[in-house]
Structure 1
Amino acid sequence: MKKTVLLLSSLFAGFGAFAQDSTSTTPGKFTFSGYMDTYYLGNFNNPKSQSNLGLNGSGVGNARAFDQKAGQFGIGLIQAKATYTADKVDAVMDLTFGTFADLGNYGNNVGLLGTPGSTALAIKQAYIVFKATPKLSFTAGQFGTHIGYEVIDAPVNYNYSLSNLFNNGPFYHIGLKAQYAFSDRAYLMLGVVNNVDNLVDNNKKKGLIGQFFFSPVSGWNVYLNGIISNEASQDVTGVKADDASYSLFDLTTTYQITSKFYLGLNAATGSQKGDYQGVGGPSTSKSWGGVAVYTNYAFTDKFGLGLRYETFDNKNGARALTDAAGNGASVNSITITGNITAADGHVLLKPELRLDSYSANKFEKNDGSLTKSQTTLGMAAIFKF
């Protein structure tokens, strides 16, 4: 608690410095952007449920984050993003709609009155950036997580389907963070947030987030990320908030080896114990982790090919990734994705082949039997502006 108070005091002291010098010398700039995507994925297992999710103990699978439908067309996400930029302040209002938006913002699906379908569900990001000095800035509001290699936005990721590291979160935070740039090749971010992937704070504790970025040489970026949070539900009888913890530490690094050849890596390890967000669980700590390697090559300015290999270990059962019996599991995934640019850069076509192989039976076949693996093949079409 003392660490949280000290960090908050430092952040608000910085806000005071900003307030003393808030004059702007040039007019602000307003921009509007967005995208929409649609996809079709065929599943070689031909599951009766027409789902890529597989099964778990409760009958609802968790093998994919967003591209859940098999053998049918689907709409992904529709984004409308407004940004205001000035000398002393930036503001971002990022709204999303569709099934992918619901999944990525799941902690906002119940409003403050306890009713489902809250308008907060459409808010992907809504934050203000105060620029106290050219080196120091403060961000307040709801913002996407700093953890991980991939993001929710389909045009930004090279692969269309999302990794298991992404699927197991976190997705977003609500709070206050400060960032200080030591140079154009190094900065430090520290912040205080309500908790992990939730509209409102589920207890009186606050989570701490951090990121250290440095670029050893031109084209090579390294991000060291972390979050430590108490996720206990305050109203669970007999469970103290101090008995539930969540921590995640993450390394993300990218290297543009040549103008055509790109390499990336994401490695993460996490742990949790106790009553995680009211779900319940033992007091002993459970861990999970994974590694994903990314590479892509641009054959021309309009066509490229990328490969992602990932291994994810949840055999302790800490996260939602399980086998068909509901037990913790591990998975190895290989994804090959093409990137085709058309219509003066406004349309991206992403043909994709993906193989997921679990440590135990996970996926259903058309005859009702189970298997450890599934292979999907499909195409995503993305329009951006």
Structure 2
Amino acid sequence: MRTTITSIALLIGNRASAQPADEDKAKITVGGYFEEYYQLDAQDPSNRLTNLRGFDNRSRTFTLSNVALEIKGDIGPATGHIIVQWGHTPSTYYLAEPVSPGTPSVDTSDGELWKYVQTATVSAKKSDFVVEAGLFPSPIGPEVFAVKDNWNWSRSNLFFGLPFYHTGATVSHPLGGEWIGKLHVYNGWNSVVDNNGTPSVAVSAGYNVNSTFAQVLYFGGIERPDGSPEGQPWRNLFDAYVQFPVNEVVSLGAQVDAGFEPNRIGTSWWAAGALYAKLAVTDELYAAVRGDYFREHRAENGTLVASPIFWPVEWVAEGTATLAYQPIDHASIRLEYRHDHAADDAYFGGDVVIVPATLTAIPNRTMQDTVTLGVTAWF
């Protein structure tokens, strides 16, 4: 019997040694998340819409914001990554996708086609270089699509105004001192299919050590569609953010973003900033606050005024306070108050006028106040 067991062990050992090395085996990771909320708008708009608010944009109704499924596959130096999604969140941010008409034999490309895809990339590593291509969430700013990875439930005006996603390719390489440099080439702002045929470029340097995150980024390109009265100007964006723990209880963050676009009418420009703070009350409960201000100047020459890049008003600002309770692993309940303010009517309240021909709602408030109760769970 002992001889038989030894022979079997040797046979198993020989078979195991003939198998591919672990790094040559495919590793599949599956994850996902769920987001739902109920919101009360103090201005009680008749259309029950919370305007210019990113994704928590409906009042007095339970709203399924997003259901996302993530699959990541690794084999050797190659990685594939896809996140598919359903809900108000993707339907909202893909409204920015340009429409590229088709023909009887070529499909039209628009937001309805792509809104179910949040991320779809493939990457490969060679030495210290990593090359990645596909559809990416925008690298601009510290906030992300998944509520679970943000301190607040709602997103800042910077997150909502600046680009959400890009299609293209990146190359990254360590710079030393824990910094990673990256070169980006994209179709442009919020463009799975480009609206002008000219790629945009970006360069960034990111830092991620011991819960401290920082990044500086430049993004440049032609973002106006073909045939715009502003012409085809080169738009310049500069962004920087930092997020860090002060101690075991308090964490802080900040983002600044500015840019300009010299076009046929003049020079359009913007400047924005956001501040964040988080206080850990217990292991299960934290409080977070955020405030931001976003100003945009539209070029004008006495006859023409450039179309806005971001907002229908000169500036918007907001203040947010959030309580987040995590009673169990992989689930968070958040209660949030938010006040929005704008330079002119940008929000809704009371009886909202709807233009019959276009079904467009006319903003009639310079402020809005909301209370939101949301739950997110993930695996």
SS at match of 1:180: strand
Q: What's the counterpart of residue 355 of structure 2?
A: none
2 CA distance for matches of 1:104 and 1:247? 22
2 CA distance for matches of 1:118 and 1:222? 34
Q: Aligned ranges for residues 222-301 of structure 1 at < 5 Å?
A: 222-234=214-226, 236=227, 243-274=232-263, 282-301=264-283
Residue of structure 2 aligned with 1:345, choices 315, 329, 332: 329
Q: What's the counterpart of residue 359 of structure 2?
A: none
Residue of structure 2 aligned with 1:321, choices 296, 307, 311: 311
Q: What's the counterpart of residue 171 of structure 1?
A: 164
Q: Aligned ranges for residues 198-217 of structure 1 at < 5 Å?
A: 198-214=191-207
Q: Is structure 2 residue 334 aligned with structure 1 residue 336? A: no
Q: Is structure 2 residue 87 aligned with structure 1 residue 98? A: yes
- Percent identity, aligned pairs only, is 21
Q: Is structure 2 residue 288 aligned with structure 1 residue 309? A: no
Unaligned residue ranges in structure 2 (runs of 5+): 1-20, 299-306, 353-362
1 CA distance for matches of 2:285 and 2:126? 42
Quick one: structure 1 residues 84 and 367, their matched pair in 2 at CA, closer, same or farther if it must change by over 3 Å?
closer
Q: Aligned ranges for residues 1-385 of structure 1 at < 5 Å?
A: 25-53=23-51, 63-108=52-97, 113-114=107-108, 118-133=112-127, 135-183=128-176, 185-214=178-207, 219-234=211-226, 236=227, 243-274=232-263, 282-316=264-298, 318-322=308-312, 328-342=313-327, 344-366=328-350, 370-385=364-379
Contact 1:207–1:228 (CA<8 Å) still a contact in 2? yes
State the Cα deviation string for residues 325-367 of structure 1 (Å, max 9, x = none).
xxx321221100111112x312211100001122233334325
Larger Rg: 2
Unaligned residue ranges in structure 1 (runs of 5+): 1-22, 54-62, 275-281, 323-327
1 CA distance for matches of 2:121 and 2:151? 26
Quick one: structure 1 residues 50 and 239, their matched pair in 2 at CA, closer, same or farther if it must change by over 3 Å?
closer
State the Cα deviation string for residues 51-109 of structure 1 (Å, max 9, x = none).
111xxxxxxxxx21111111222110110110012331111011111121122233558
TM-score normalised by L of structure 2: 0.82
How far off is 1:265 after superposition? 0.3
Quick one: structure 1 residues 150 and 285, their matched pair in 2 at CA, closer, same or farther if it must change by over 3 Å?
same
Quick one: structure 1 residues 128 and 263, their matched pair in 2 at CA, closer, same or farther if it must change by over 3 Å?
same
Contact 1:109–1:120 (CA<8 Å) still a contact in 2? no
Q: What's the counterpart of residue 9 of structure 1?
A: none
SS at match of 2:148: coil
| RMSD across aligned positions (CA) | 2.4
Range that drifts further, 357-366 or 176-185: 357-366
